[in-house]
Structure 1
Amino acid sequence: MTLRLVLADDHQLVREGLRALLSRDSRVEVVGVAADGATAVKLVRQLQPDILVTDIAMPGLNGIEATRRVRAQAETQVICLSMHGDQRSVVTALQAGASGFVLKDASCDELLGAVREVATGGIYISPGTMGGLVEEIRDRQRLQAALPGPVLTAKEREILQLFAEDLSTQEIADRLKVSAKTVATHREHVTRKLGVRGIAGMTRYALSEGLTAGGLACR
């Protein structure tokens, strides 16, 4: 059976390299590529691939949020890629719904192995990320149970990330094709839910929660 993949990475060289490497396996077909998370989500909706392989740190809509959206609307499994295997990034990816986490310095054979493992319903995590991961997950689950955090909608998370990436209200409105007033309303909801003040507070929160490339430290 041929496995159909969509690849997402904001660097063209990486996208082309991954496509070339994965296409060496006759059982894998790359049916689409995306330069950002929003495009990846659209391609998954249109093409219904078996697996989305996505970088975590991308502008506009990061790989974590793309993973959440894909898993909420499709049967497509997700493998996240990252330059760094810190436990926080791994846990965040798994909680978003990813079934795989592969370091970008992994071999092609490892990535293909992850693809095959995930395609059969398994979970694959690069060996270099495993130290203390189980305890980290348990600690986070205990903390979340004791102190549940604010629940942001998908649109609020997207707007939070865009503000953290230094876009203005009007620039965000233009990108999302909504009015500046709508963006401002979402911003007020976000700051109230998070208990922060202004865009600076939103940015600090986004960085701490890994909602931006800087917070995820994936470069």
Structure 2
Amino acid sequence: MIADDERVVRDGLRMIIETQRDMSVVGTAGDGEQALRLALALRPDVLLLDVRMPGRGGLWTLTELSRRGATEAGTTNTLMLTTFDMDEYVDEALARGASGFLLKSASYEELVGAVRAAARGEGALSPRVARRIIDGYVADQLGQSDNGAERQRLNGLTPRELEILHLLGKGFNNAEIARQLVVSEHTVKSHVSRLLAKTGCRDRGQAAVLARQTLPDPRGRE
């Protein structure tokens, strides 16, 4: 389902999504209140929800969906859409139960990949948004942790696991990592599970922060 106040955006997103054999658009909405009513009635697998709409915006809609249990696991996964990547929108959306956050400038591949990831119950952030979040966490933690001690957590990782950890740090999802390394998504998931166990990271987010703290930047900066 698509909720955006601009018809041209709704039509464009519908056109992209319906080119995929495994996807269909069950409904569209032009404001937050209509989006809430339709989402509760249709229970879509994925809701593309614009942050800023006239009247009730997407954050209000997301809050109401969450309050009514419509964003719990196995229900509707919500991807927030916006023209802006302002930190307060990202923080608010994720805090209110969004599955991901995409800029409207995202590429065709990013959009389709994010919808598929959300449908599987995985988080999906555009690379720009993911990098900003990770950089923010790293900035907060560098003054609190010993970088040398953090590097010791990488002991025992195989070269392939280090490659994947580096790509996690860049905000890549499983499908993007699989394409980058020319392996299957199943293989990537197995490597991610092992590297999380070896490094003691609770989830992919923590692993991404660890990567940014400990692995060299490809431009020569750590």
| Superposed pair shares fold, TM > 0.5 | yes
Aligned residue pairs, count: 135
Unmatched runs of 5 consecutive residues or more in structure 2: 141-222
RMSD: 2.0
Deviation at 1:71, TM superposition (A): 2.3
Tell me, yes or no, if the aligned pair for 1:64 and 1:92 is still in contact at 8 Å. Answer: yes
Instruction: Report the CA distance shift for 1:127/1:24 in structure 2 as closer, same or farther (over 3 A).
Output: same
Which of the residues 3, 7, 12 maps onto 1:17? 12
TM-score by length of 1: 0.58
Counterpart residue type for residue 111 of structure 1: L
Q: Give the match's secondary structure for 1:30.
A: coil
Deviation at 1:137, TM superposition (A): 6.8
Aligned to 2:121: 121
Which of the residues 39, 42, 45 maps onto 1:47? 42
Deviation at 1:82, TM superposition (A): 0.9
1:18-167 map, 5 Å: 18-73=13-68, 74=70, 75-134=75-134, 136=136
1:160-175 map, 5 Å: none
Query: Deviations for 1:43-81, whole angstroms, at most 9, x for unmatched residues?
Result: 011111111101100011100111111222212110001
d(CA) in 1 for partners of 2:139, 2:58: 24
Query: Deviations for 1:129-162, whole angstroms, at most 9, x for unmatched residues?
Result: 233414657999xxxxxxxxxxxxxxxxxxxxxx
Deviation at 1:108, TM superposition (A): 1.7
d(CA) in 2 for partners of 1:67, 1:133: 20
Counterpart residue type for residue 51 of structure 1: V
Greater gyration radius:
2
Tell me the percent identity: 37
Deviation at 1:87, TM superposition (A): 2.0
d(CA) in 1 for partners of 2:80, 2:132: 19
Query: Deviations for 1:175-197, whole angstroms, at most 9, x for unmatched residues?
Result: xxxxxxxxxxxxxxxxxxxxxxx
Instruction: Report the CA distance shift for 1:8/1:139 in structure 2 as closer, same or farther (over 3 A).
Output: farther
The structure with the greater share of residues assigned to strand is 1
| Larger RCO (CA under 8 A, 6+ residues apart) | 1
Tell me, yes or no, if the aligned pair for 1:71 and 1:77 is still in contact at 8 Å. Answer: no
Query: Deviations for 1:11-58, whole angstroms, at most 9, x for unmatched residues?
Result: 111111111111100111100000001101100111111111011000
Deviation at 1:85, TM superposition (A): 1.3
